Amino acid sequence: MPAHPTLAFTPPDPAFEAKVRESFARQPFMATLGAVLGAVVPGRVEVVLPYGEGVTQQHGFFHGGAIGAIADSAGGYAAFTLFPPNSTVLTVEYKINIMAPGKGERLIAVGEVTRSGRTLTIVRVDVYAQAGEARTHCATATQTLICLNGKSDARAEG
């Protein structure tokens, strides 16, 4: 689990968990990877990616792109838990350091808000590779997200 304590946040949208889960369910890319949403609490979201040949690289480890994708979603949704109703989230920037091979039965990306601003939110994401009961901290990302207030989170048509 994370080495840093989760900050206490009060979400402005009491329906934050349903909003996050519904939005995640509309992401075809996460479905293609096989990623699922884990815990959703104010300022903290987990995304879990089970091992599958389709998300590996030539050595059989989780591909760096898969690690980055679930980190991006975990961080984005951690920020989204703290956004007002009738808003949406977009990634502005992220940087990821892969520190160990993603080797195991699953990856767990844990996004935690470090600063929640009116427009920009900063998140730290730690990604763990789980093999049995052992977890290896395999990547850390920092991410900046923007709150688009007054914009629907639904898919744009056209």
Taking only the tens place, the pLDDT of each residue in 60-108 is: 999 999 999 999 999 999 999 999 999 999 999 999 999 999 999 999 9
- CA 99 from chain centre, in angstroms, equals 18
Cross-sheet strand order for the sheet of 134-149: 36-41, 44-50, 106-116, 120-131, 134-149, 87-98
- Is residue 105 within 8 Å of 131, Cβ to Cβ? yes
**Residue boundaries of the structural domains of the chain:** 16-149
Domain 16-149 has CATH 3.90.850.10: no
Q: Given the structure tokens 């056209």, which residue do they identify?
A: 158
pLDDT-derived band at 6, boundaries 50, 70, 90:
low
Whole-number Å distance between alpha carbons of 9 and 89: 17
Residues pairing with 66 in the sheet: none
What's the confidence (pLDDT) of residue 155?
79
pLDDT-derived band at 157, boundaries 50, 70, 90:
low
Taking only the tens place, the pLDDT of each residue in 97-136 is: 999 999 999 999 999 999 999 999 999 999 999 999 999 9
* Phi then psi dihedrals of residue 102, to 5 deg: -80, 95
Determine the 3-state secondary structure of 38 from DSSP.
strand
- Is residue 156 within 8 Å of 148, Cβ to Cβ? no
What's the confidence (pLDDT) of residue 79?
98
Query: How many CB atoms are located within 10 Å of the residue 141 CB?
Result: 22
Taking only the tens place, the pLDDT of each residue in 32-65 is: 999 999 999 999 999 999 999 999 999 999 999 9
- Is residue 67 within 8 Å of 126, Cβ to Cβ? no
